[in-house]
Structure 1
Amino acid sequence: MPRIVRTPDLMQRVAQLESQVAALRRAGWERDELPFYPTSLHTMPYEDSTSFITLWEAILSPRTATLSIGMVFIGDQVSAVNTGGSWQILLDGATVAASGSVPALFSYVFPTAVIDLTPYRASASLKVQIQVRRTAGATTGGKFGGGGSIGGAPTYARLL
């Protein structure tokens, strides 16, 4: 059976430990990807409602300190009228953790959010919802007939 021979020299052992710690620091923190699932009633990640509607959601066990989310949103264009709106991230159906706007420019926006999960660490589960609403644009026509739609999706979600 092979044996591991340890170097008796303390300085060599310290140098070896320092190089191992440096390699671990260069590797960075371990990250877990969080999948989101679509919830739109139209089975597509678009919504034309003027009140907040959940497009994507996930349920997680908050074992890490933060959740980093990247998203993409775009408004609709109906008869040369661009649709704008707003988005928010809702935690446990009650707390707005992040929010922003979707400009009525018919171009993509890529917002990001870093959410502190520390207050939820004692919870067994946490529901995270990405919601959108239409605030400007056409009121008829569009993808589903109720005016312009706001489309959105998470690009990444990492538990850090």
Structure 2
Amino acid sequence: MLSVLPPIFVLLGLLDVWVDRVTMMKYTGKGSGFKGVLIAFLLGSAAAGPLYAAFPFAGVMLKKGSSLMNVLIFIGAWSTTKIPLLAFEAASMGPVFTLTRFALSLVGIPLIAFLTERSLGEKQLKELYQLNCADMPKPEA
């Protein structure tokens, strides 16, 4: 566990410095649509490391103005669709099982993220963003 944390904090620092808020909001913020969902899913799937490493990244994403739905998709993809996990699963459980589970994840993760975001009220969303020192992202015109 201790060997995983230093690289995570280095990457978090780089993400915080190199990716400005406007860029993050443009690609994963409210109003980013399918593009934001795809980026969040790909980032989560390409990530390496344990699930607890995803939460600091999620916090930075919220701070930078990503929509809650895209942050939840990122966490869901990190936990279930990592590329090394899929390769191991295909070898041990078989390709039919792996493809079925992956297809269900492709549909289920965005659906659950959408329903979770919709189930929160405006006040709860505002509190969530305030906890992460960010203003509520506004859709781009």
* Bigger Rg, structure 1 or 2: 1
Structure number with higher helix proportion: 2
Give TM-score, length-normalised by structure 1: 0.27
**Structure with greater contact order relative to length (CA < 8 Å, sep ≥ 6):** 1
